[in-house]
Homo-oligomer: A and B are copies of this chain.
Amino acid sequence: MPIYQAPLRDYQFVLNELLNIYQRTELKGFDEIDADLGDAILQGVADFTTEVMLPLNGSGDVEGCKLVDGKVIAPKGFADAYQQYVDNGWATLTCDPEYGGQGLPESIGVFATEMKTATNMAFAMYPGLTHGAYAAIHAHGSDALKQKYLEKLVSGEWTGTMNLTESHAGTDLALLRTKAVEAGEGLFAISGEKIFISSGDHDLAENIIHLVLARLPDAPEGVKGISLFAVPKIMVNPDGSLGEANSLCAAALEHKMGIHGNSTCVMNFDAAIGELIGEPHQGLRAMFTMMNQARLGVGVQGLGVSEIAYQNALAYAKDRIQGRGLSGVKDAQQAADPILVHGDVRRMLMAQKSFNEGARALIGQQALWLDEAERHPDADKAKAANKLAALFTPIVKGFITDRGFNACVDAQQVFGGHGYIHEWGMEQFVRDIRIAMLYEGTNGVQALDLVGRKLMGDKGATLMVWSDMVKTLIGENMNNDAMKPYLAGLMDASGDLEKATQFMAVNAAKNPDILGAGSMPYMQILGITVLAWMWTRAAAAALAALESGTEDTAFYEGKLKTAQFYMSYWTVQTRSLRKQIESSSELLTQLEEADFDL
């Protein structure tokens, strides 16, 4: 069974030394937390995830979910583990205290999510979707709706889902057909079929609140005519007790590549009774306001699974003996050397490690921007943070899941043939994390969102704000010789980013299709560059700690070596990516359909 050691020391580094969140007392609620509390919470989640969730990951994959007599049963042990999850209060961490939440910052909660995802991604999706439903009702629901649903969603006694996709309408929700008609007393009857509904039905909780996108009879065409409804599995009486079953069901379970422990359902709504969330026809806007947070959650999956895959690959590389080092015998006591002596095994491991730690730092930063957006007393600063979070949302979702998937494939590769065998757990990580590149907007959609809405949408203004932060960082460290190896990589990558941005801006005006054709390499350039920015800050923090005479020298020296590897292995990729945009994107737009045929 795979091992897992929660990266608690790295969480401390990111939260305390890189982002200084415990000094950010100007943010609402941040004055109630300190490093001891943050450490204690993350330690608690580490214990729960390692002891309760991890042992169910492999068995949940093999067993999968079952649809029996119209009800979905999650794998053995899931219901019991979920009950413990609720009893321990882990569902409540970042929720509103008014409804029983603990009000903790997203920047702490996001690392609880990392550990949950690492140890059991399929299980973690049940509370993950619940949190999405909570957030939507919290942000857009009427007071009555909040009173009815939020407390139970916060505690985790009830779970939630998001019903967006239909078989012919995924990215393009304008095409969706599910209908809602008035049913009196402010209620609506919802009819239609939704697919790919994560946690659509299960036996973990007594009720499930489905958030459903549907069209009202008088709705305008396209995305401007979509409304959002709360549709409970079991009707809720005015006194909060459970009433009759609603007319909806899981019609089938999807047969998936991975995340077998999560019940991905085809959902049928047959005049199911629901209530409107927010205004009519404003459903898509309501979904959009939660998008930054939802996509952060998916990015965290990329990191979490990549982290546990790395830990297991490293343990295997230290333990597995096979062959001898090229420069001679390294461990004469054994019949062969551990494969960690081999250069290519080291390359794969360091590629994973430097990605994971850089991605973790960015995810912390992104969560802090979201915290600032929500909690900063200065509205301008809140707005500025929200813009940065919006800019980097496609990076967090698209870049981190892309590279996280690659990292899992590399981790599997370290195991040789054993990586292909279920018992070792590595092939499951690859199968599970593959979904993260596809759902919540494919990564191609993320790239398009980046170059279209985020970049061209404000004529590069937010990117410029961030570029100035990069320039400031470079300026502050220019005269520090110890920082030079890190700055060089950041400057190279930034240079390619600038040129690529210019190319996109100039050509988008002439031929808008070029934006799409270059969008993926562009997203990769920005992703590599923003991680280089985080690594530069990490190197500066590590050097400062070493100068201050820390006793934990091994940790900080390790950080510096990993930072150096990041710069020498990752930032050198941006030039080729820029060249790809410059030389291939126009050609792509000129091809005829027949040119794709053999």
CB distance from A437 to the nearest CB of B (A): 7
Query: Contacts A342-B516, A422-B256: A416 and B170 contacting too (C-beta < 8 A)?
Result: yes
Query: Contacts A427-B257, A568-B580, A594-B554: A516 and B344 contacting too (C-beta < 8 A)?
Result: yes
A576 nearest in chain B by CB position: B576
* A318 close to B (CB within 8 Å): yes
**Do A347 and B257 touch (CB < 8 A)?**
no
Q: Which of A106-114, A242-250, A517-525 lies at the binding interface?
A: A517-525
**Do A343 and B413 touch (CB < 8 A)?**
no
Within 481-518 of A, Cβ neighbours of B (below 8 Å) are at: 511-518
* A165 close to B (CB within 8 Å): yes
Within 542-598 of A, Cβ neighbours of B (below 8 Å) are at: 554, 558, 561-562, 564-565, 567-569, 572-577, 579-580, 583-585, 587-589, 591, 593-598
Complex: A565 Cα to B598 Cα, angstroms: 15
Query: Contacts A326-B513, A438-B413, A452-B326: A254 and B421 contacting too (C-beta < 8 A)?
Result: yes
* A76 close to B (CB within 8 Å): no
Complex: A97 Cα to B325 Cα, angstroms: 45
**Of B438, B443, B554, which one neighbours A420 at CB under 8 angstroms?**
B438
A574 nearest in chain B by CB position: B576
B residues within 8 A CB of A353? 596, 598
Size class of the contact patch on chain A: 35 or more
Complex: A258 Cα to B417 Cα, angstroms: 12
CB distance from A488 to the nearest CB of B (A): 10
* A175 close to B (CB within 8 Å): yes
Complex: A442 Cα to B344 Cα, angstroms: 11
* A10 close to B (CB within 8 Å): yes
Complex: A350 Cα to B521 Cα, angstroms: 14
A588 nearest in chain B by CB position: B346
B residues within 8 A CB of A418? 170
**Of B321, B516, B593, B598, which one neighbours A326 at CB under 8 angstroms?**
B516
B residues within 8 A CB of A579? 572, 575
Complex: A444 Cα to B255 Cα, angstroms: 33
* A296 close to B (CB within 8 Å): no
Contact bitstring A400-421, B, C-beta under 8 A = 1, else 0: 0000010001001100111111
Complex: A42 Cα to B273 Cα, angstroms: 60
**Do A588 and B350 touch (CB < 8 A)?**
yes
CB distance from A172 to the nearest CB of B (A): 4
B residues within 8 A CB of A231? none
* A434 close to B (CB within 8 Å): yes
* A335 close to B (CB within 8 Å): yes
* A220 close to B (CB within 8 Å): no
**Of B344, B416, B567, which one neighbours A447 at CB under 8 angstroms?**
B344
A578 nearest in chain B by CB position: B572
**Of B323, B520, B562, B598, which one neighbours A171 at CB under 8 angstroms?**
B323
B residues within 8 A CB of A572? 576, 579-580, 583
Question: Interface centre among A412, A439, A564, A580, by most B CB within 10 Å?
Answer: A580
* A345 close to B (CB within 8 Å): yes
B residues within 8 A CB of A567? 583
**Do A413 and B444 touch (CB < 8 A)?**
yes
A314 nearest in chain B by CB position: B596
A590 nearest in chain B by CB position: B561
Complex: A314 Cα to B595 Cα, angstroms: 11
Question: Interface centre among A10, A343, A409, A517, by most B CB within 10 Å?
Answer: A343
CB distance from A66 to the nearest CB of B (A): 16
Contact bitstring A147-184, B, C-beta under 8 A = 1, else 0: 00000000000000000010001111011000000000
**Do B444 and A344 touch (CB < 8 A)?**
yes
CB distance from A349 to the nearest CB of B (A): 6
B residues within 8 A CB of A421? 254-257
Within 314-355 of A, Cβ neighbours of B (below 8 Å) are at: 314, 317-318, 321-323, 325-327, 335-336, 340-350, 353
Contact bitstring A431-452, B, C-beta under 8 A = 1, else 0: 1001101110011100110001
* A430 close to B (CB within 8 Å): yes
**Do B564 and A587 touch (CB < 8 A)?**
yes
Query: Contacts A413-B442, A512-B326: A517 and B340 contacting too (C-beta < 8 A)?
Result: no
Q: Which 8 A-B pairs have the closest CB atoms?
A: A343-B516, A343-B517, A568-B583, A572-B579, A257-B427, A576-B576, A255-B422, A568-B584
> Can you list 14 A-B pairs, Cβ within 8 angstroms, ordered by A?
A172-B336, A195-B417, A257-B427, A326-B516, A342-B444, A413-B438, A413-B442, A561-B587, A565-B588, A567-B583, A569-B584, A574-B576, A575-B575, A576-B577
Besides the contacts A325-B513, A405-B409, A431-B431, what 17 more A-B pairs have beta carbons closer than 8 Å?
Answer: A5-B598, A172-B322, A254-B421, A255-B422, A256-B421, A318-B593, A326-B512, A342-B516, A343-B519, A347-B517, A357-B598, A413-B443, A564-B587, A572-B576, A572-B579, A572-B583, A575-B576
